[in-house]
Amino acid sequence: MAAFLLLKSNISAPLQKKNYSKILLTNYCHNSVINLYQIKQTIMNANAKVLDSQQLLIHWQGHRNLTRRVIEAFPEKDLFEFSIGGMRPFSKLALELIAIGGPALKSIVEGTINKFDETFNPTTKDELLAKWDEETETINEYFSQITEERFQETFNLFGQYEFPVYQNILYFVDNEIHHRGQGYVYLRALGIEPPFFWERER
């Protein structure tokens, strides 16, 4: 009970944080003796800074370098046409990513709520890659303007995804990895060796 009160007083309201206090409690309830010092230490660790803004930007741009390499690996025709199980061709998946990263960051920094816009519709790989590189610069420009407070503030992205900014940004990266993973299967099905997953340098 003391443990529960301590957790309650240290962990604030949002649903997800409640889940975490459940996680912590579950761990400690396995022990017959509740060690308050250890619980306090765990809560201090729970609030520990994991990484900073520049590290996350480097991480994301590393993933974007790899995704660019996956776009390049597709033969021109297959990039726009090849598909499995009724899914979108890889060009469409890449265009979704282009429509998210730069525009979303600009929107977050400027505090303007813009609609999600997927109208850019290139017909060549070069055109797609040129836009990809343009967005690389946009992301660098706006990412570095996000202050520490902003990462924890909620933002109604594209007028429909109201989450803390850090969750929105993690979602951009995760969504990119998810779709790129699908691109790896397309490449394998086409008999093409995809780039190494751990290669992140431009």
Nearer to a second copy, 17 or 131 (CB): 17
Rounded to a whole number of angstroms, the minimum distance from the CB of residue 88 to a second copy is: 11
C-alpha to C-alpha distance for 164 and 157, rounded to whole angstroms: 10
C-alpha to C-alpha distance for 102 and 176, rounded to whole angstroms: 13
C-alpha to C-alpha distance for 69 and 105, rounded to whole angstroms: 23
Nearer to a second copy, 159 or 181 (CB): 181
C-alpha to C-alpha distance for 138 and 118, rounded to whole angstroms: 17
C-alpha to C-alpha distance for 44 and 6, rounded to whole angstroms: 12
Q: Find out whether 22 and 28 touch, Cβ atoms under 8 Å.
A: no
Rounded to a whole number of angstroms, the minimum distance from the CB of residue 165 to a second copy is: 9
Rounded to a whole number of angstroms, the minimum distance from the CB of residue 124 to a second copy is: 25
Q: Is 98 helix (H, G, I), strand (E, B) or coil?
A: helix
Rounded to a whole number of angstroms, the minimum distance from the CB of residue 44 to a second copy is: 8
Query: What is the contact surface with a second copy in residues (CB under 8 A)?
Result: 11, 16-17, 19-20, 23-24, 26-27, 42, 44-59, 61, 63, 84-87, 137, 140-141, 144-148, 151, 166-167, 169-171, 173-175, 177-182, 184-191, 197-198
Nearer to a second copy, 120 or 197 (CB): 197
Nearer to a second copy, 23 or 36 (CB): 23
Residue 84 DSSP label: S
